[in-house]
Amino acid sequence: MKVTNREINNIKEGRQVYIITEDDNYNNEDFVLLECELESIEVEITIKYKYNSLDDCFSLIPYNLFGDFKSKEDAKDYYKNIKNIIVYRTKFDNKRLLNSELDSDLLEFIDLTSINKNTIGHSSSEVYELKLKDSTNAILKVQYLSGRNSLKEEYERNKWLEGKLNVPKVYYYKELNGIEYYLMEKKDGVSAHKVESFASLVGENLKQIHSIDITNCPFKNNSTDNLLKIAIDKIDIILPTILEIYPEMNKEIIIDFLKNNKPTDSVLVHGDYSLPNILINDNREVSLIDLGDVSISTKYFDLYYLKKSFARNKKIGCFKEFLESYGLSEIDEKSMKWMDIIDKVLF
């Protein structure tokens, strides 16, 4: 894929997550060679969208996720010659740590000689495994503030969940010169799907999450009411993507479906309940990571993304065992379809 020198530099520096192009040849999980006049880099495509206009695109995805632009108008001017708008979210394996910005408080915690880059998963942050000065294993996340979710959101959710679920202990959070640093405990274990007979453990764990008392939970960004409002407000923007999947529908049918099939349950959800975010250790204890999307929502929020993760990791045959352990005899396909349409809004 042909791109500009500026775009490659932005991606390498962690300042760009999305690319706008007219090239419609790629799908999720494809590895793509980005080429410019000076060099080329390989990225993984994790999300693909189509939009009718740049206005539609930038009304749904913040302009600063496309590079170091000063305003939305600057971004629109940069991409003004692109008519058939295809948007790809990219993942680039950057080995660099932004240690020139580390402050003295953080340096008091960590052993700089122990730092290793972690390239697993689709996080928009740079993730490092390291040791604290007392030899405790830890994880450091580093992210520009232009990321989709602020690391502060993950930090706040992680703190709220301490004592309620098996989640990492939080050591440190700070924003410094436009960059966030988030230091936490490294939980023992491997991604759930790498463990034998994992599905029943995952079912028990998700049942535990969905049973937490939400009376005083402050996180409601993914409530079904909020998701429905966003989807209807953005329906014209996401319509091309939805119609590619459901060509038998139209705008009016989609709106009616969303209104009439909104799930009515309300539980605490992880928000990105996928197998790599569920760790199982040698004692078959389950812990959770990547908590930035924790919110009150429908249980189908987690069930939808988990089923996709089972399929992506070639474990879909184990999904029935998961459902039995979770306590659900069958899955409501209308609620899953509702989430599939909502997913197109949650870039």
Banded model confidence at residue 185, pLDDT cuts 50, 70, 90: very high
pLDDT given at position 340: 96
Residue 251 has pLDDT above 80, yes or no: yes
- Spatial distance between the Cα atoms of 299 and 126, rounded to a whole number of angstroms: 29
pLDDT given at position 46: 86
pLDDT tens profile 257-297: 999 999 999 999 999 999 999 999 999 999 999 999 999 99
H/E segment holding residue 114: strand 110-118
Residue 147 has pLDDT above 60, yes or no: no
Superfamily (CATH) of domain 190-343: Aminoglycoside phosphotransferase (APH), C-terminal lobe (3.90.1200.10)
pLDDT given at position 148: 58
- Spatial distance between the Cα atoms of 300 and 340, rounded to a whole number of angstroms: 10
Reduce the DSSP state of residue 128 to 3 states and report it. strand
163: left (phi over 0), alpha (psi -120 to 50) or beta: left
- Spatial distance between the Cα atoms of 187 and 294, rounded to a whole number of angstroms: 18
Domain ranges of the chain: 5-91, 99-185, 190-343
DSSP string, 130-176: EEETTS-EEEEEEEETTSSS-HHHHHHHHHHHBTTBS-PPEEEEEEE
DSSP string, 10-71: HHHTT---EEEES-----TT-EEEEE-SS-EEEEEEEEEEEES-HHHHHHHS-GGGGSS-SS
**What percent of the chain clears pLDDT 90, i.e. is strictly above it?**
69
Residue 14 has pLDDT above 90, yes or no: no
Closest residue by Cα to residue 91 from 29, 150, 6: 29
pLDDT tens profile 196-231: 999 999 999 999 999 999 999 999 999 999 999 999
Banded model confidence at residue 124, pLDDT cuts 50, 70, 90: low
118's tokens: 């972690």
Give the Cβ contact number of residue 302 at 10 Å.
Answer: 23
Residue 118 has pLDDT above 80, yes or no: no
Average pLDDT, the chain: 90
Closest residue by Cα to residue 303 from 320, 280, 291: 320
347's tokens: 């870039």
pLDDT given at position 130: 92
pLDDT given at position 224: 97
pLDDT given at position 95: 53
Cβ atoms of residues 249 and 328 within 8 Å: no
Cβ atoms of residues 332 and 301 within 8 Å: no
Cβ atoms of residues 185 and 214 within 8 Å: no
Residue 158 has pLDDT above 90, yes or no: yes
DSSP string, 233-298: HTHHHHHHHHHHH-TT--HHHHHHHHHHT-----EEE-SS--GGGEEE-TT--EEE---TT-EEE-
Stated pTM of the model = 0.78
Give the CATH class of 99-185.
Answer: alpha beta
pLDDT given at position 47: 86
Relative to beta strand 170-176, strand 190-191 is unpaired
pLDDT tens profile 63-78: 988 998 989 999 999 9
Residue 323 has pLDDT above 80, yes or no: yes
Banded model confidence at residue 146, pLDDT cuts 50, 70, 90: low
Within this chain, domains 5-91 and 190-343 share the same CATH topology: no
The one-letter amino acid at 26: Y
Banded model confidence at residue 30, pLDDT cuts 50, 70, 90: confident
pLDDT given at position 97: 52
For 125-159, letters b (16+ CB in 10 Å) and e give bbbbebbbeeeeebbbbbbbebbbbbbebbbbbbe
| Domain 5-91, CATH among 3.30.70.100, 3.40.190.290, 2.40.40.20, 2.30.130.30 | 2.30.130.30
